[in-house]
């Protein structure tokens, strides 16, 4: 289910492909339903297969929690942990400290996916995801990790050609590097706090990207203005390769949260990872305890 391939699944389990195929065939025969649709190009779940998989994930999670409650290994959890996060968070924040996580929890096999796509945690078997912005999925439990300061900036070459905006209203005469999400929505606006309230200002633009690395790269090449968490461009700002503009009007801070599916018992692997990554974000951005509106706070189900 998670690899969408008998070959990759078998390789991950160190068993022959034929053994994996036979195991699924036996399961389908016993249940009397088809769980997976096989084609020459891919393996995908049937509706029954998807529903059965999701129930099995919950059952295994409950079993793991029951076993962990009786063992002294809760502080040293074992097994595979699947995590997804934006690539820029992985490279700039998490991976530079990942050796510390390994030293603390040598029994965890970490499977880290990175990109800008919003993953389906339950459908794709992901245990936890890191997302920037205000979470709006009430089916997930969220723990706010940080509120990241943002900055509007551009390259010296762009500002030399287009001029430096002196007031937010002048943004309408400038070019923005646009950012489009996996859902297809394109953002070409800038948010600034005016008289204590966040206001939106739009700009033009001729290029759109869907990756944080490409977003900054376009700004460095003079493609237009960007609004981005300061940590991402701190080095470029310090070296003068990017220049902050409109600093008299602060940008709203960008929240970042760890999210995972609702379950009555939280996996020890997820718990220690969220605790660890909370420390990482707190060290970089400072403590942040304000809850996300409309989203359940971390561990709230357990008090």
* CB within 8 Å of 238: residues ≥ 6 apart: none
pLDDT for 303 equals 29
Tell me if domain 72-139+258-302 and domain 150-252 are identical in fold: yes
- DSSP track, 222-272: TS-BEEEEHHHHHHHHHHTSSEE--TTSPPPPEEEEEEEE--SS--HHHHH
- pLDDT tens digits along 70-115: 665 556 788 889 999 999 999 999 999 999 999 999 999 999 998 8
pLDDT for 85 equals 94
Nearest CA to 140 out of 153, 150, 131, 149 is that of 131
CATH number, span 72-139+258-302? 3.40.190.10
What residue segments make up the domains of the chain, in order of their start?
Answer: 72-139+258-302, 150-252
The CATH number of domain 150-252 is 3.40.190.10: yes
* CB within 8 Å of 278: residues ≥ 6 apart: 143, 145, 258
* CB within 8 Å of 301: residues ≥ 6 apart: 141, 262, 264
H or E element in which residue 147 lies: strand 140-148
pLDDT for 4 equals 82
End-to-end CA distance of the chain: 33
Residue 205's CB is within 10 A of a number of other CB atoms, namely: 18
pLDDT tens track, the chain, 303 positions = 878 888 888 887 789 989 999 999 999 999 999 999 988 778 889 999 989 988 888 788 777 777 766 665 556 788 889 999 999 999 999 999 999 999 999 999 999 998 877 777 877 778 899 998 887 776 788 899 999 999 999 999 999 999 999 999 999 999 999 998 766 678 889 999 999 999 999 999 999 998 889 999 999 999 999 999 999 999 999 999 999 999 999 999 999 999 988 765 677 889 899 999 999 999 999 865 444 333 434 433 332
Nearest CA to 45 out of 64, 63, 27 is that of 27
Cα dihedral sign, 130-124-215-206: negative
H or E element in which residue 220 lies: helix 212-220
Cα dihedral sign, 84-88-91-96: negative
pLDDT for 66 equals 73
Nearest CA to 284 out of 237, 245, 230 is that of 230
DSSP 92: I
Q: Facing residues of 244 across strands?
A: 153
């Amino acid at each position: 289910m998670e690899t969408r391939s008998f070959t990759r699944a078998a390789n991950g389990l160190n068993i022959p492909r034929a053994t994996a195929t036979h195991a699924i065939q036996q399961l389908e025969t016993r249940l009397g339903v088809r769980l997976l649709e096989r084609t020459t190009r891919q393996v995908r779940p049937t509706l029954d297969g998807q529903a059965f998989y999701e129930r099995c994930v919950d059952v295994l999670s409950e079993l793991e929690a029951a076993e962990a409650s009786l063992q002294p290994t809760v502080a040293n959890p074992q097994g595979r942990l699947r995590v997804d996060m934006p690539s820029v968070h992985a490279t700039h924040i998490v991976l530079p400290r990942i050796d510390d996580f390994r030293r603390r929890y040598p029994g965890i096999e970490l499977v880290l996916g990175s990109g800008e796509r919003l993953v389906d945690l339950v459908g794709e078997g992901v245990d936890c995801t890191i997302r920037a912005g205000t979470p709006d999925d009430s089916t997930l439990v969220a723990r706010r990790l940080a509120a990241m300061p943002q900055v509007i900036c551009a390259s010296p070459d762009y500002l030399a050609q287009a001029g430096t905006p002196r007031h937010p209203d002048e943004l309408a005469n400038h070019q923005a590097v646009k950012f489009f999400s996996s859902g297809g929505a394109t953002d070409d606006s800038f948010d600034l706090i005016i008289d204590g309230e966040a206001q939106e200002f739009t700009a033009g633009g001729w290029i759109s990207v869907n990756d944080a690395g490409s977003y900054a790269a376009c700004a460095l090449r003079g493609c237009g203005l960007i609004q981005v968490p300061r940590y991402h461009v701190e080095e470029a700002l310090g070296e003068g390769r990017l220049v902050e503009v409109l600093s008299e009007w602060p940008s709203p801070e960008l929240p970042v949260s760890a999210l995972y599916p609702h379950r009555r018992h939280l996996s020890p692997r997820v718990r220690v990872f969220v605790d660890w990554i909370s420390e990482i974000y707190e060290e970089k951005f400072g403590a942040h305890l304000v809850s996300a509106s409309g989203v359940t706070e971390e561990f709230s189900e357990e008090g």
